[in-house]
Structure 1
Amino acid sequence: MSVTAAPGFTAAGTAAGIKESGARDLALVAVADGRPAPAAGVFTRNHMTAAPVLTTKAHLAASGGQAAAVILNSGNANAATGEKGCADAEAMCDLVAAELGVDRHHVLVCSTGLIGIPLPMAVVEAGIAPLVAARSEHGGEAAAAAIMTTDTASKEVVVEAEGFVVGGMAKGAAMLSPNMATMLAVLTTDAAATPAQLQAALTAGVADSFNALDVDGCTSTNDTVLLLSSGRAGEVDQVQLERAVAAACADLAAQMAGDAEGATKVVRLTVTGAHSDDEAQAGARYVARSQLVKCSWYGQDPYWGRIASDLGSCGIAFDQALVSVSYGGIEVCRGGVEVDHDREAVAAHMAQRHLEIAVDLGLGAGRGTILTNDLTHAYIDENMGTS
């Protein structure tokens, strides 16, 4: 049930006609009783900000962090569309608000797809009434499918906590880079919480999940993660809420990494021994964006020299006489030079889909981890054009 697993929420997904393929492209997540509920959001830091992001941020501010529904579309990002794009995003909220009988500021909006193309508002407008009418507690799967673009599978999660539930759905297969990684996510919970408590839980949950995911170094114009609370489970411990939200975010981020465009490897790259956590994270992110390193992963080549070279040039503190590199827990480099190791074991690890690579800089206690992928021919094929 994913996004409707938490009691108090309904969802729906339909094909409005935005996508030429006829696939589902319009989704709704709504509070079951129609009353505005506490909500929070985290958004892209790209200054080329899409109209739905601007609209949703404005609505959360105007409502004091209250929302009754989220309307989402795929197939068109409604980004780089100027004043008309903002008017279209507002119109989507107006139409949903009219169907639900709520204030327009209590409806949030998300879009994903191609940039710079106006929304086909005629089909969007025609699709909203039947979408709202179709909402049900069993509509989570259809909603998750309706927000997919180049995703090969829908991404859903349910976290059963002590006395409450966090459910969610997300999409994302490329333009995955902090801050957040093109991604949309809607999370719901029945834990009673204020907008401030939800914001704290969401901000913390995003930090080590979506913001630690870097597939191609490209930050989307539309990245949005929303969290809504029905409150049906009553008040819960804030720490427990934050843990459950973080677990849901981490699960969805891992699903994104596993479904990245053209990827054959999911790589967890950890840098330790840096002067600070910030330097460790910066180093890990730099390596994760290295085309040479990513190509070596695709070729199943444990070419640790490329990793060491990138860390030595990325601007963080580095001493080549202290660095060590391991693949799958097998140390291949120590003190900046190769050491004897089980080559067959390393080769077996590199042949797996999930790779664990660790670098110790030997300088301090700083630690950082990035979830990323290899670079393949299929990624290039997918991104050569817009058609």
Structure 2
Amino acid sequence: MSVTAPQGFEAAGVAVGLKSTGKPDVAVIVNRGPLKTGAAVFTSNRAKANPILWSEQVIRDGVVEAIVLNSGGANCFTGSFGFQTTHQTAERAAELLGVGAGDILVCSTGLIGTGDQVFRDKVLAGVEQGIARLNPEGGPDAANAIMTTDSVQKTATYQADGWSIGGMAKGAGMLAPGLATMLVVLTTDAVLTSSEADAHLRAATRVSFDRLDSDGCMSTNDQVTLMVSGASGVTPDAAAFRAGLTAICSDLARQLQGDAEGASHDISIQVMHAASEEEAVEVGRSVARNNLFKAAIFGNDPNWGRVLAAIGTTTALFDPYDVDVEMNGVRVCSSGGPDRPREEVDLTPRATSIVIDLKVGDASATILTNDLTHDYVHENSAYAS
């Protein structure tokens, strides 16, 4: 059911020709209430797409009636025409729904730097068709409509005592977020204020989507949105809701990791005994963004020296000659020197675990990444073709 699993939401996904494949490419999700609460986090990339610039303004009052998403075009670096297209998208949806355009979020994903009247006309047609087909069973169709290079749709649900959360995500490349990753929509029928929704969303994304660093490239269109209908009538315990939201965000983040472009290994980098959580994240991300390390994992080579070389570029507190490294359960490095023979490490499974013990504190963090493959290079060399 995806985003329509919680009460109070309807969705649709339609095909209007933005994609050459003829697959669905415009999604609409509407909150029927009684609450119309929303929160969102956005890419920290200074180069922001027009829908991000629009949605950053919309979310300020914490009211969201609906969200319109299109694939097949990022509407980024398309000048004033592109921003007008985003504005008209919200206006068309608002007119058909009988609400204000300032309460309609807009998201786009696809190729940067392209957009013309044909693109605009198709998006507006998608808004009209999508709203005409809104239904409580439309979550899966909406999830399909936001896919670009994704090979599968990504959805998740979380059921609690009297309330629930639903979610959908898209993303297979440019996964190196600042607060968010690609496009994610979360819905809940719990009763929350806008400030509560914002606080819970930021806490959940910080330890889920913000820890996914697939290829070190940050998108111009990243947005994670939480829509609150309050239709269950249940006000959840704050800790319980935050745990549920974090669980569903973590689930979707791992689905994004598992569908990363061309990847043959899903790598979990756990940093232990760091001086602070921030330093644990810095160390883990340094390894996740090291192309030599990623290439070694692709070749099933347990080259732990590349791990130490990567963490040595950070400002984190540790002694490089007192660090342990495990690869898939085998401690290959102890106190900055060789430990078990490399031949004991089996890197053929897709799931790959790296554990780094800094031995300086009590903090920890886990970063998710992927290996660097021939297929990734090929897919991104031909992305605009």
Q: TM-score, normalised by structure 1?
A: 0.96
Q: Hey, what does 2:367 align to over in structure 1?
A: 370
Counterpart AA for 2:137: H
Matches within 5 A, 1:138-287: 138-180=137-179, 183-233=182-232, 234-287=234-287
- Cα offset, 1:355, TM superposition: 0.9
Counterpart AA for 1:172: G
- Work out which of the residue numbers 350, 355, 359 in structure 1 matches 2:352: 355
Distance 1:4 1:127 in 2: 19
Secondary structure (helix, strand or coil) at the match of 1:326 reads strand
- Cα offset, 1:342, TM superposition: 8.0
Gaps of 5+ in 1: none
- Cα offset, 1:42, TM superposition: 0.5
- Cα offset, 1:287, TM superposition: 0.6
Aligned partners of 1:173 and 1:182 also within 8 Å: no
Secondary structure (helix, strand or coil) at the match of 2:113 reads coil
- Cα offset, 1:368, TM superposition: 2.0
Aligned partners of 1:191 and 1:232 also within 8 Å: yes
Distance 2:377 2:25 in 1: 25
Deviations 1:25-71 (A, max 9, x none): 000111136x660100010011101110111111122xx21111100
- Cα offset, 1:365, TM superposition: 2.2
Aligned partners of 1:36 and 1:106 also within 8 Å: no
Aligned partners of 1:171 and 1:184 also within 8 Å: yes
Matched, 1:75 2:85: no
- Work out which of the residue numbers 88, 94, 98 in structure 2 matches 1:97: 94
Counterpart AA for 1:22: G
Q: Hey, what does 1:289 align to over in structure 2?
A: 289
Q: Hey, what does 2:53 align to over in structure 1?
A: 54
Gaps of 5+ in 2: none
Secondary structure (helix, strand or coil) at the match of 1:270 reads strand
Q: TM-score, normalised by structure 2?
A: 0.96
Aligned partners of 1:36 and 1:67 also within 8 Å: no
Q: Hey, what does 2:381 align to over in structure 1?
A: 384
Change in CA separation of 1:125 and 1:340 when aligned onto 2, cut-off 3 Å? closer
Distance 1:297 1:96 in 2: 47
- Cα offset, 1:125, TM superposition: 1.7
Task: State the identity as a percent.
Answer: 43
Aligned partners of 1:181 and 1:214 also within 8 Å: no
- Cα offset, 1:275, TM superposition: 2.2
Distance 1:181 1:372 in 2: 15
